[in-house]
Amino acid sequence: MGVTEILFWFLSVLALGSAIMVVASKSPVHSILFLIITFFAISGHYILLNAQFLAIVNIIVYAGAIMVLFLFVVMLMNLNADSEPPQKNKYLLYGGTIAGCSLLLVLVAALKQSAISYQPTQLQYGNSGLIAHLGQALFTDYVFPFEISSVLFLSAMIGAVIISKKEPN
């Protein structure tokens, strides 16, 4: 077993364990911290796949900006045990578990029937995940969807400014 395999299994166990703790943790702040650990483990997987750009973007955008935003929202909400509504029905947990297992069963059945393409990828020596090839594909093959998404983001920004603007009395 090589170093890459040991690192892969360590990152996988870390990602799955911290993802379970996101759901199982009773404190919202601890859930957010476990989610940050999950994002770092996923970034480690990206690095193992030679996709350094995706790893850095994942750390900067998700673990950095979005998790700080979640943390501030949770702190501003001032959640405590007194403001928490009492749990009335324990059967809701059982229903959620059954629904989640059913969804997992449907996903496994759909993936089992899907066509699997076996195209080998060079993990440590290939150029598949580097920024130059990503930019080349983005600005040649996918330039129209890229421009459409930029117009969509611009219109969302303008809409947010218009909605938040107060009318003078």
For residue 93, the model assigns a pLDDT of: 75
In a domain, 145, yes or no: yes
For residue 74, the model assigns a pLDDT of: 74
Asked if residue 166 has pLDDT above 60, the reply is yes
CATH of the domain at 72: 1.20.120.1200
In a domain, 158, yes or no: yes
Q: Find the radius of gyration of the CA atoms of the chain.
A: 21
- Please state, rounded to an integer, the average pLDDT across all residues of the chain: 80
For residue 117, the model assigns a pLDDT of: 58
Tally of structural domains, the chain: 2
Higher-confidence residue of 75 and 31: namely 31
* Domain identity same for 2 and 73: yes
User: Residues 41, 47, 49, 50: what is their CA dihedral angle, to the nearest 10 degrees?
Assistant: 170
In a domain, 50, yes or no: yes
For residue 137, the model assigns a pLDDT of: 80
Could you read off the pLDDT of 51-65 as tens digits, one per residue?
888 888 888 888 788
* Domain identity same for 69 and 133: no
Percent of the chain with pLDDT over 90: 16
For residue 42, the model assigns a pLDDT of: 94
In a domain, 97, yes or no: no
Per-residue pLDDT, averaged over 125-129, amounts to 60
For residue 38, the model assigns a pLDDT of: 93
Which amino acid, 113?
Answer: Q
Asked if residue 81 has pLDDT above 60, the reply is no
Domain ranges, residue 74: 1-79
Burial 115-124 (b: 16+ CB within 10 A, else e): eeeeeeeeee
* Domain identity same for 131 and 74: no
Sorting pLDDT into bands at 50, 70 and 90, what band is 102? confident
